[in-house]
Chains A and B, each alone.
Chain A
Amino acid sequence: MSAARAAGPSRTPGSISSKHAPALDLPARFMALAMLLLAALALAAPWTMPLLLGSFYDPRLLAFVHLNTLGVIAAVILGASYQLVPVVLQTPLSSVKLGRLSFWAFLGGLIALPIGLLRGWLPALIAGGTLLAIAFLLYIGIVAATLRRAPHRDVVAWHMIVALVGLLGGVTYGVILAINKGTGILGEHTLANLAAHATIMLGGWVAVFLAGVAYRLVGMFTLAEEAFWEPAAWAELVLTAGGAWVLSTNLHLGGPRALSLAGALALLAGLALFAGQLAHLYRRRKRRGLDVHIPFALTAAAAGVLAAALLALGFARQEPLTSPLWIVAGWLAIAGFAETAIQGFFYKIATFLVWLQRYAPLAGRQRVPKLEELYGRRLALAGWALWSLGVALAAIAAGIGALWLSYAAGLLVAAGLVAFLVNVARIANHWRAPGARNAGQRAGIQHKESLA
Chain B
Amino acid sequence: MTTTAISSERVMEALKGVIDPELGINVVDLGLIYDIVTGEDTVRVVMTLTTPGCPLHESISEAVETAVQLLVPGVSTVEVDLVWDPPWCTDLITEDGLRELGWR
Question: A residues bordering B, Cβ < 8 Å?
Answer: 1-13, 16-19, 21, 87-88, 90, 216, 219-221, 223, 225-226, 286-289, 348, 352, 355-356, 359-360, 363-365, 367-372, 444, 447-448, 451
Contacts and interface: CB of A to CB of B under 8 A. Distances in A.
Contact of A226 (B8, B53, B89): B89
Contacts of B50: 220, 223, 225
A127 to B, nearest CB: 37
8 contacts: A1-B2, A2-B38, A12-B81, A17-B57, A90-B52, A287-B101, A364-B64, A365-B66
Given A2-B8, A4-B35, A221-B22, 5 more contacts: A7-B86, A87-B55, A370-B24, A447-B70, A451-B70
Nearest to A8: B85
B70 A1 contact: no
A87 B49 CA distance: 14
Interface residues of B, number: 53
A2 B37 contact: yes
B49 to A, nearest CB: 8
Contacts of B24: 370, 372
Contact of A1 (B37, B60, B81): B37
Contacts of B65: 364
Given A3-B35, A364-B17, A287 B58 contact: no
Interface in B56-82: 56-60, 62-67, 69-71, 73, 81-82
A5 B35 contact: yes
Interface of B: 2, 4, 7-8, 12, 17-19, 21-24, 33-39, 46, 50-60, 62-67, 69-71, 73, 81-86, 89-90, 93, 101-103
Contacts of B38: 1-2
Given A371-B22, A448-B69, A364 B63 contact: yes
Nearest to A367: B17
A223 to B, nearest CB: 6
A289 B25 CA distance: 13
